[in-house]
Amino acid sequence: MLKASAQRIQNVLTQFGHPDVVQELQETAHTAEAAARAIGCTVGQIVKSLVFKGQRSNQAFLFLVSGKDRVDLNKAAQIIQEPLKRADADWVKENIGYAIGGVPPIGHASPLTTVMDSNLWQYPTVWAAAGHPYAVFPSTPDHLRAMTKALVHDIHI
Ligand code: 5CA
């Protein structure tokens, strides 16, 4: 049986009618590197879900990038149209409801403006966190975009 946080993600996947299934691993997948090792995929196929805080609005924004890429804060701020700062672990837990290492791209209680990096489209299969650091699900960039309603931009360094 899945933990409650992972079950929430599975329910979203089921609602969307995609075949993606949450998997709970024996080993931690709390970072992109650890996730790639545990899954047996390349680090590029891991979707990092990174939370940034709008400096004017205090709003949370979610950026999805390949495990081999970093978010370019200048590009991201231009898209969001306000300066951004990396959110700290406590703020993420409080505002997003998931702990760092398990922040999923889907399954958020309130709508979360999400931006996906165009680099993800070079991977037919990608893996994202599913609510806690041992849970992941495989998907495709198109499925992820459909579920998150993400804007798609070049946001990597
Ligand atoms: N489960 C994997 C992917 S399947 C995962 O969640 N990877 S991640 O990259 O999306 O999340 C880990 C990221 O959280 C790190 O890349 C790092 O950018 C960020 N992070 C780690 N520690 C902190 C911290 N103390 N404060 C803010 N961000 C952090």
Domains of the chain: 4-153 (3.90.960.10)
pLDDT at 70: 98
What is the reported pLDDT for 37?
A: 97
Taking the CA atoms of 150, 137, 104 and 38 in sequence, report the sign of the dihedral they define: negative
pLDDT at 68: 98
The atom of ligand 1 lying closest to the CA of 51 is 28
Nearest CA to ligand 1 atom 8: 48
149 dihedral zone (left: phi>0; alpha: psi -120 to 50; beta): left
pLDDT value of position 34:
97
- Cα 18 to the center of its chain, rounded Å: 17
Does ligand 1 come within 6 angstroms of the Cβ of 6? no
pLDDT tens sequence for the chain (157 residues): 999 999 999 999 999 998 899 999 999 999 999 999 999 999 999 999 999 999 999 999 999 999 999 999 999 999 999 999 999 999 999 999 999 999 999 999 899 999 999 999 999 999 999 999 999 999 999 999 999 999 999 999 9
Contact 128 CB / ligand 1 (< 6 Å): yes
Q: How much is the pLDDT for 86?
A: 97
Alpha-carbon span 136 to 100, nearest angstrom: 13
The per-type count for the chain, helices as H runs and strands as E runs, is: 5, 8
Helix (H) or strand (E) run with residue 24 in it:
strand 23-24
